[in-house]
Amino acid sequence: MGGFRLIGAIERAAGALLALVTALTFVSVVLRYVFNWSIPDSYDLGRNLLGILIFWGIAVTGYRGEHITVDLLWNAAPAPARRLLARFDDAVLAFAMAALAWTMAMKTLDTKTSGEASYDLNLPLWPFQAVAWLGFASGFLLALVRLFQPTQGRK
């Protein structure tokens, strides 16, 4: 039951991030076209927050199995083969999330070492990447949980 609360909390946080990105974009456009002024670093903030949103969304989508699927082979397969396919799918998902988490961790460390920062406010970019990395790391852990769950009744 606690796992479902965590997934729900992640989804609510993603929804709040989406609302924040939408509001930031809307206000930025209004200010730019009506008052000829822009919010400093609104583009950098928006794209980094959107990246975080996407990476955390991938984690939840992978756990729930709500990603894009091709059902041609699944529908034609008998139940034992479906269980095997489900395990294979979960293993590929776990491997992919591990690879993405690793590469994102390396990118985050490189960004921190290089001192990359936003243009206007000189905000360091690595904290945004670190939060995005946490999404991939969570996705890997959730994929492992899914890999070791029973496959009955799920696709």
pLDDT class for 128, splitting at 50, 70, 90? Answer: very high
Domain limits at 24?
A: 2-147
Query: Which residue has better confidence, 88 or 102?
Result: 102
pLDDT class for 136, splitting at 50, 70, 90? Answer: confident
Whether residue 142 is contained in a domain is answered as yes
Dump pLDDT digits (tens) for 31-85: 989 998 888 888 888 889 989 988 888 888 877 776 666 677 777 888 888 888 8
Give the count of domains, the chain: 1
Whether residue 26 is contained in a domain is answered as yes
85 neighbors 77 (Cβ within 8 angstroms): yes
Token pair 């997934």 is found at: 7
120 neighbors 43 (Cβ within 8 angstroms): no
Whether residue 28 is contained in a domain is answered as yes
Whether residue 8 is contained in a domain is answered as yes
pTM of structure: 0.79
Whether residue 98 is contained in a domain is answered as yes
Whether residue 116 is contained in a domain is answered as yes
Closest CA to 131 of 23, 55, 19, 45: 55
Buried/exposed 102-116: b ≥16 CB within 10 Å, e otherwise: eebbeebeebeeeee
Whether residue 154 is contained in a domain is answered as no
Query: What pLDDT was estimated at residue 68?
Result: 64
Whether residue 31 is contained in a domain is answered as yes
Over 80: is that where the pLDDT of 119 sits? yes
Query: What pLDDT was estimated at residue 69?
Result: 67
